[in-house]
Structure 1
């Protein structure tokens, strides 16, 4: 029966079933969850509809899953409306399967075939199955009250359409216990910078920081690089150098020969060149005299201070210990002027330290988790809400709700093993991206092969992952700088698919082969080539590896910008990819539509595409980035040379009419970029004017507009004429 009670909206969304409300007179079936009608089905009156009435069971072998179903005695079309909170997104409720692209998104697109809606504020997932359906618009609508609306037309029949409603999806269904978006939302901004670790390892100094800051200011700042991060090597060892002191004193006692001005000089050198200062720290205690001077702050076993692999001595993580050594340290980083802090070795604190205590029987599983969580919360309390916080390394559910970003891979380097790891782990963990935290695939070493650098930077830019470079300035050759500039800034996109990780994909098989990332020596890792045999051995064996597009090698980013919606398909050769005909539906596109295709790195128009896209073969490490726009009967911007997104970065305003195209662009003064416009048959350019730039135009298969920016923005107006086609 209908439930007549009014349910107020709770701050913490209930783990409870939605309740139905049926109005036979209007043919309206509504399901209310947490005081809001999240699902409304408008069914033509006069039809005999069957639907699920109550909440007498889970209806699935998964806890907290409600299954709603609707069927009809005769075929009938109905309108289904989802009403969710601001920030809701359309996604596919499972990870990419055989030959499917991994789905990403920028904005609020409605993606063909993506049969899920996710409320990011309530951690609520709804997905539907068992019927034919299609979206009624290209993007999610926003009401005056800030609610998100998505509508689709559904074909009902005697075979039931069923809808799964899963409250607290990431928290309960995927096990991320600390994911509570009603309390904490990670910072959603794009992050790009330079890190000192794989450039210099511990051989870092204030002179080198000043040098790199000046170089980046000249070469990359205008393109979106914002942070300079000093890594390991600034602190005086062992930690703390004074065993009677606190860890704050330890980390803020710098090596005098390398940093005579201490942290203040680091922060000032970075700020002087217009960058935000960032710093690395970790959870280590290395001074062997520290435990005897702080016996209440270090864990002991059999009368001796316990040491964990990679972590040395272990904090007790008691309130008193955290109040003395941890919270003040992170507060000091903030007060000194660092706006980005990276905490390292925390996985070793947990896995090799506190878990060792569990194995020894000196604490319980629950106690180990609670102590680690207390450590993380103390670090965030010291930093406050404004400092950007990266947890490194290894995805751990205990950092959710504390960190803004989480490193999802081991230490990267310029070998194929290191590069492939970044590409593959970006794919494996993509369902967490900008939901639980921003994914960090670790720093990129462009001193690798040009093709490999192009692939990893393209992927990081399009996914919007954390974008960090780590080389000395001599690695930034003109051709490498060109690739970096065309991938800066990273987008602010997020995942458009979710679901648990498959355990049929191997993790880290590459670590036993060439290029093992964690090396004991102090010098940066150098690039080395890879044989095809080694590359395939690194990949391991898994269900899709013999497909045209094995898992991790095919992506589809559905983007929204001032010029509308488009898709960027990315083919990344984590294994050699054959030439193939790629079905458009595998990219989340409609097979019965006509698209215009453009290859970014080749700067080449691929022509009109229907049903499938013909793709070239790619060798190990190569990539192909293709923009796909639905063809229109008006002049249409379809690509640019400025950014790998083609172009979600430089197009700020866009107005297309039958015979006029007006575009407002941003750019770097004294640089030239090309913009590619498709014209309907019989149309030619009549005139072109620009304010803020010099332009030249050339017409072939596409109209190519070369824009020489005189200042940071320019308005381009193109007028066309169309000749009669006899």
Structure 2
């Protein structure tokens, strides 16, 4: 039940905080701050370094109070928040954090509520946020500063046009993309081979998208020649080149017949010659303005031209059976065309940002329930329209690309499952296995897309195993609610599920690294408690740790992923070899009742999977009920191994006192 509302803090600023144990406390004075708004730093090698867009006279509002009490004084608060809220911090630029559920770990000082776009931060007082009905209970020790930032993402982070009412895409995205596998020489046979391979080896592990990229279309990126009289621009996309002899409807049907989702790439580059030529954006000379990559562009506010140039293509592809749309060159429409013709927009008293949004709105409208990915680069002007955004640059099968991918994951991690689903771009795994392992670790623990792009012949058993062990993707949210720095050495995932909590920490070596000891408090754990440490990739129990943990030495490009579970006095889950989330997707209904540990494990075909259980001193295994499994006790670790099989397996283990 909700606590009594003894005192309402900052009620005039509409901060929903209630004191629950300090009726004697005098309500502190509210301090209001008003500062100019700023545009969004982007930092891509192409185009502007910022979004270069701030609405006229836009201001940022903030409200703070200083709670000044004795250092021994404890103040309990209740923060009202929606179900669409989560604990986080805007103050951790040097470390990357993801969350699943609403963990109570100590590395968070804030609550972000997406429903109201409101951030409440408590600085000082060692706050701990405990989920409760209608919000969070918070205990503060001593003095603290409480701060509210209304319209946090929309205004304070600079996504001024964000429509937060748009629901987030409900499913993780994982699959195969043709681009770096075959570039512009992709063929129908390449897609068919990839579809068969993915259906056979990875569909059971959550990889269900097959996305054709650039190379199937007859439309020319050069913008030449202009369309011929009577030639329909959309048909240059919907009726492919000779490498796709059976056509796109046939291919979409074939992909779907394998249980996969057919996806397709469309670039918004445009030649001259469309029928509704009044829709072209014009330069100073009164002629259609030509910019790099997209050539010419259409004013998104001119609906007939917008339909002919962009939307009709998507409408037809949707009718052909395509259900995943990657819309590319969007940043070039805005930054290389619209922004280069300011006089055009000024003379019409029109907003280029609104025109830009209309392009994506109409595309999403005809795509209906299909996934729409905006590409490439973070595009603040589109916030709230596409389902996902490709936040990074193109990558290749090399270590520099892993580093580049990590840079953009860190910089824009705070947007994932807040504004849209992040796509850090595909991974190329035809590099050394240890580096491929690092790439899938970073991508999986960040919680966005998991897409791959290699010729399928390069997916040997080791690389397939890596992908299986991070699939399906996890629906994670950012523990960092502001940009983090490049080259994150540590990425932590804090999990709360089924009344249990655990943490996975991955360390990445951007250069050769020695072994290093880290306080468990750096990852939100309590240094006064003991934890079971389990190395995921090595499937190895590393012992009981307290206060600090020694990460092993690593060569450049290698990583280590370790899970930590607070030590219990009875048998408990230690870890699994099935999924890097260590229970986020691969364990359900885990419970300890009447000296019995029970639960359900997610399995997968063509590979045996093991759940590891810690059996402390004073306990012994009684009976094991787990059809289709074998078990073995080695020291304090009970291994429960299931034969290859799709779906889930229930299990129950009775323990006796030793």
TM over 0.5: yes
Tell me the matched-pair count. 628
Retained in 1: the 8 A contact 2:30–2:64? Answer: no
Change beyond 3 A, Cα 1:277–1:603: same
Retained in 1: the 8 A contact 2:621–2:656? Answer: yes
Change beyond 3 A, Cα 1:320–1:241: closer
Matched, 1:329 2:308: no
Task: Write out per-residue CA displacement over residues 648-694 of structure 1, whole angstroms, 9 at most, x where no aligned residue.
Answer: 22212212136321122221245311111111212221221213x22
Change beyond 3 A, Cα 1:188–1:621: farther
Task: Return the offset for 1:720.
Answer: 1.7
Quote the residue 2:331 is aligned against: 347
Matched, 1:597 2:537: no
Task: Return the offset for 1:588.
Answer: 1.4
Which of 450, 467, 470 is residue 467 of structure 1 equivalent to?
450
Quote the residue 1:247 is aligned against: 233
Quote the residue 2:180 is aligned against: 198
Retained in 1: the 8 A contact 2:629–2:640? Answer: no
Mapped partners of 2:645, 2:198: distance in 1: 22
Matched, 1:495 2:478: yes
Q: Which runs of 5+ in 1 are unaligned?
A: 1-22, 506-550
The 3-state SS of whatever aligns with 2:510 is: coil
Report the TM-score, using the length of structure 2 for normalisation.
Answer: 0.90
Instruction: Give runs of aligned pairs for residues 561-572 of structure 1, distance below 5 A.
Output: 561-562=497-498, 564-572=500-508
Mapped partners of 2:511, 2:202: distance in 1: 31
Runs of 4+ in 1 over 4 A off after TM superposition: 30-35, 59-62, 239-243, 359-366
Change beyond 3 A, Cα 1:399–1:576: farther
Change beyond 3 A, Cα 1:437–1:711: closer
Quote the residue 1:58 is aligned against: 33
The root-mean-square deviation of aligned C-alpha atoms, in Å, is: 2.6
Instruction: Give runs of aligned pairs for residues 170-249 of structure 1, distance below 5 A.
Output: 170-181=153-164, 183-238=165-220, 242=228, 244-249=230-235
Retained in 1: the 8 A contact 2:71–2:141? Answer: no
Which of 553, 557, 564 is residue 621 of structure 1 equivalent to?
557
Task: Write out per-residue CA displacement over residues 189-247 of structure 1, whole angstroms, 9 at most, x where no aligned residue.
Answer: 21001111111112222222222111111111111111111111221133786564343
Retained in 1: the 8 A contact 2:219–2:237? Answer: no
Matched, 1:655 2:591: yes
Mapped partners of 1:712, 1:697: distance in 2: 23
Quote the residue 2:52 is aligned against: none
Change beyond 3 A, Cα 1:280–1:670: closer
Instruction: Give runs of aligned pairs for residues 161-176 of structure 1, distance below 5 A.
Output: 161-176=144-159
Moved more, 433-442 or 656-665: 656-665
Q: Which runs of 5+ in 2 are unaligned?
A: 37-58
Mapped partners of 1:33, 1:580: distance in 2: 49
Retained in 1: the 8 A contact 2:249–2:320? Answer: yes
Retained in 2: the 8 A contact 1:188–1:438? Answer: no
Moved more, 387-396 or 561-570: 561-570
Moved more, 402-411 or 294-303: 294-303
Mapped partners of 1:278, 1:242: distance in 2: 29
Quote the residue 2:247 is aligned against: 262
Retained in 2: the 8 A contact 1:28–1:41? Answer: yes
Matched, 1:114 2:108: yes
Mapped partners of 2:118, 2:397: distance in 1: 40
Task: Return the offset for 1:104.
Answer: 0.7
Mapped partners of 1:115, 1:454: distance in 2: 32
The 3-state SS of whatever aligns with 1:194 is: strand
Quote the residue 2:7 is aligned against: 28
Task: Return the offset for 1:501.
Answer: 5.9
Task: Write out per-residue CA displacement over residues 588-642 of structure 1, whole angstroms, 9 at most, x where no aligned residue.
Answer: 1111111110111111111111111101121221110000001011111121111
The 3-state SS of whatever aligns with 2:643 is: strand
Instruction: Give runs of aligned pairs for residues 270-419 of structure 1, distance below 5 A.
Output: 270-286=255-271, 290=273, 294-301=276-283, 302=285, 304-317=287-300, 318-358=302-342, 367-384=351-368, 386-419=369-402
Matched, 1:700 2:639: no
Change beyond 3 A, Cα 1:372–1:224: same
Task: Write out per-residue CA displacement over residues 454-513 of structure 1, whole angstroms, 9 at most, x where no aligned residue.
Answer: 1111121222111111111210011111111111111001101212566xx6xxxxxxxx
Quote the residue 1:438 is aligned against: 421
Change beyond 3 A, Cα 1:672–1:31: same
Retained in 2: the 8 A contact 1:556–1:587? Answer: yes
The 3-state SS of whatever aligns with 2:597 is: strand
Matched, 1:683 2:613: no
Retained in 2: the 8 A contact 1:634–1:657? Answer: no
Which of 73, 83, 88 is residue 85 of structure 2 equivalent to?
88
Quote the residue 1:38 is aligned against: 16
